[in-house]
Amino acid sequence: MGGGGVRRIAVATTAVGVLLLPLGACGGPGPAHTGATPASAGPVPRTEAGDASAGRPTRIPGVGDRLRTRIPANSRQVVAVYGDGRNSADATVVLYARHGSGWDRVRGWPAHNGKKGWTTDHHEGDRRSPVGVFTLSDAGGVLPDPGARLPYTRSAAIAAPRWWPRSYWHDFDYVIAVDYNRVEGTPPNNQTRPEGYAKGGGIWLHMDHGSGTSACVSVSRSAMRYLLRTLDPDRHPVVVMGDRADLAA
C-alpha cells in the first residue's frame, strides 16, 4: 500500500456484516429513495481573504468563524462538504490542501448527504448528516486496499446486505470513517459509540448510489479512490461538513 499507511485485514463472514451494518447511520434505503442521478457540482463559495504572494485563500472558502476555529491548527488537508440546503440531499465535496498560509483547491466532486438534509443535533435515524468538523483517521471497504494512506481494513463485514436494492450493493466497496461518535484508530464498522447509541454513528464517506444517504456523505468510485490515496495521516485530515448556511455562520 502507498504512503506508509497501516493495512488491516479482517476475516469476517457475510453473516457478521448482516449483524453489524443495520447499526450504522448509513444503513439501508428508506422509502424516500428516488433513484435520482448524482447532483452536479455546485458553485464553491469564494473568500476575500488571500495569500497575496501566491493567490491562495488563507481560509477555507465558505466556512465561517464558528467552524473555522474548530479546524485543528496542524491540519493540512480539509475535505469540505458543501450541502446545497438545510433540507437537501445534494452536495459538493472539495478537497483543500494547505501550503504556507494559504489553501489550494485540489479537486471537487458532486456528492450526496442525508436524505433529509443536515442537522446540528444529529440523532440515530433522523436521516440527516451532522454539521461539524471531524477528523478522518480510518478507512476500509469490501475491496482490496487501493493504496490508502489512512489505515485500511478490508472486511466482508462492511458489505451492504444483499436485501438492499442492487444499486446500493457497492456503497461500501470503499469507505472513510468520519470521526463522529466513534473510537479513532479502529475499523470503520466498529460499533462503539462513546456518546451513546442515540447520538448516531457509523457515519462514513462512501461510494454513491445516486441519491441521499441515511447520514453519510457519498461520492463517486473515482473520488473515493482519489481521497483514499491522497488523505495522509501525517497531514491530519479533517472533514468540514454542513449545508452552506451553517458552514458560513
Give the Cα separation of 1 and 7 in Å (integer). Answer: 8
Residue 103 structural domain: 77-238
pLDDT of residue 48: 33
- Would 125 be classed as within a structural domain? yes
pLDDT of residue 6: 54
pLDDT of residue 7: 58
- Would 27 be classed as within a structural domain? no
Torsion of CA 191, 234, 91, 56, to 10 degrees: 160
Amino acid at 239: V
Output the tens digit of pLDDT for each of the chain's 249 residues.
444 455 555 433 333 333 333 444 575 554 333 333 333 344 444 433 444 446 789 999 999 999 999 999 999 999 999 999 999 999 999 999 999 989 999 999 999 999 999 999 999 999 999 999 999 999 999 999 999 999 999 999 999 999 999 999 999 999 999 999 999 999 999 999 999 999 999 999 999 999 999 999 999 999 999 999 999 999 999 999 999 999 999
Question: Model's pTM, two decimal places?
Answer: 0.83
Cell triple for 131? 454539521
- Would 34 be classed as within a structural domain? no
- Would 135 be classed as within a structural domain? yes
pLDDT of residue 76: 98
pLDDT of residue 39: 37
Give the 3-state secondary structure of residue 23: helix
pLDDT of residue 209: 96
pLDDT of residue 26: 73
- Would 187 be classed as within a structural domain? yes
Alpha helices, H only, 105-207? none
pLDDT of residue 101: 87
Structural domain count, the chain: 1
- Would 36 be classed as within a structural domain? no
Half-sphere exposure of 222 (CA within 13 A, CB side): 4
Give the Cα separation of 128 and 173 in Å (integer). Answer: 22
- Would 160 be classed as within a structural domain? yes
- Kindly state the DSSP code that residue 160 receives in the 8-state scheme: P
pLDDT of residue 55: 73
- Would 184 be classed as within a structural domain? yes
